Amino acid sequence: MRLIRIANYPSSFAIMSMATSIWIRLRDLKQLGLTYMVYPGAVHSRFEHSLGVYWLAGEAVHRIKAHQGLELDINNFDIKTVKLAGLLHDVGHGPFSHLFEREFLPRVLNGLNWSHEDMSIRMIDYIVDKHNIDIDREYLKKARFDYLVRDSRACGLGCSFQFERLMDTMHVIEDEICYRAKDYLTVHKLFATRADMHRTVYTHAKVKAIELMVVDALSTANSYLRITDKIDKPDEFWKIDDSILKHIETNSSKELKEARDLIQRIRRRDLYQFCNEFSVPKDKLEHFKDITPQDIVCSQTAGRITLKEEDVAVSIAKIDLTRGRNNPLESVKFFKDYESGDKFSIQDHLISHLLPSFYQDKIVRVYAKKPELVEAVSKAFENFQLKIYGVKAQVHATPEKKDEIVHVSAD
């Protein structure tokens, strides 16, 4: 995170009066996408989150000004612009949080690499161009503190990360925000809390089942609704939000029947059935190739049911501390004391032997799209693991074995 020198910008309030419709749209984008269907409290929106980031950005720059205002020459325009960046940083998000850009668009547009960060800048460009406002694109930066605390509380989970401690002691050295060396464990807690939220909430097995169904629904509806035609047109993009599910569900067009049926299944809780999961072995992560429904189907042995690719759904969740297999603290700069002008990274061996020696997990989950296929899909998944890894790394027994265990216990 860097402090960027900005000057000669118009008031944030003037810009917001022109951008009201685009920004208010964030009320209709849930911060956690479809997670609320599993965690009922997770109904907070990107509007609330953006207000939180707006406040945090303001607090951060005010505290930096209080300690280094003369040194850094921070003025009121800088403060307003940093706050504006916090307010607008998420205006480029599509429906259902990251599902739109990471699952839906790559599916229907042959692996398209599209990001909401880039779209946020384009949306702001659209605002300023339309109203002839002079503003620099480079001010758009992100903040993590708000969403970790807000998401944890909304999902009924505790959050032990203390962002106030870091904000009170951060210091700018050579245009980079640095933290006191003795606060390294607090910084690490930020990354660890994020990983815990991914494992417990964001990639919850039932959340992923619902997401897989929504991606299938949007994919089949796209040719009729032409959703992807809007991703390069800011004047059209801002009109799509989470209400697209209700639009599909209540539209009687025959072209939307398949998508409509999927959404109604979600409403009835007739979800894709979780079959099993496994964590990719550490020594296989570097050359891991995404597993597809075809891989599972091709691993099926003879049985009473012959699986087809459309019977199987696969979810691959990557959980790390933001730096892949590396320690994220290596990318954070620290300082010893306020009198020192030196900044440095803290290496693994200087931190703690209690911290993890490995920083990434990749979890493969397989689902059957119909309940009667669970056993066949589970066994095919088991065969796939034996074929690729030579062992079964899955977490649960197959449905058939579960029955055996229950039977023995009953006796």
The counts of H helices and E strands in the chain are 17, 6
Instruction: Please measure the distance between the N-terminal and C-terminal CA atoms of the chain and give it in whole angstroms.
Output: 61
Q: Which of 44, 49, 89, 116 is catalytic?
A: 116
> Residue 403 and residue 47: Cα distance in Å, rounded?
47
Give the C-alpha distances (Å, rounded to integers) separating 56 from 85, 192, 264, 391: 11, 20, 40, 48
> Residue 9 and residue 80: Cα distance in Å, rounded?
9
Say whether 116 is catalytic: yes
Helix, strand and coil percent figures for the chain, each rounded to 5: 55, 10, 35
CA atoms within 13 A on the CB side of 64: 28
Q: Is 75 helix (H, G, I), strand (E, B) or coil?
A: coil
φ/ψ (deg, to 5) at 95: -60, 145
**Residues β-bridged to residue 169:** none
Q: Is 331 helix (H, G, I), strand (E, B) or coil?
A: helix
> Residue 200 and residue 152: Cα distance in Å, rounded?
10
> Residue 47 and residue 399: Cα distance in Å, rounded?
43
**Residues β-bridged to residue 274:** 367
Beta strands in 52-138 (DSSP E): none
| Cβ proximity of 212 and 272 under 8 Å | yes
Best CA proximity match to 50, nearest among 96, 10, 84 = 84
Q: Which residues are CB-contacts of 227 (< 8 A; sequence separation ≥ 6)? A: 218, 221, 240, 244
| Cβ proximity of 151 and 37 under 8 Å | no
> Residue 368 and residue 377: Cα distance in Å, rounded?
6
Residue at token pair 């306020």: 338
Per DSSP, helices labelled H in 226-349 are 234-237, 244-250, 257-267, 293-297
| Cβ proximity of 296 and 366 under 8 Å | yes
* Residues involved in catalysis: 116
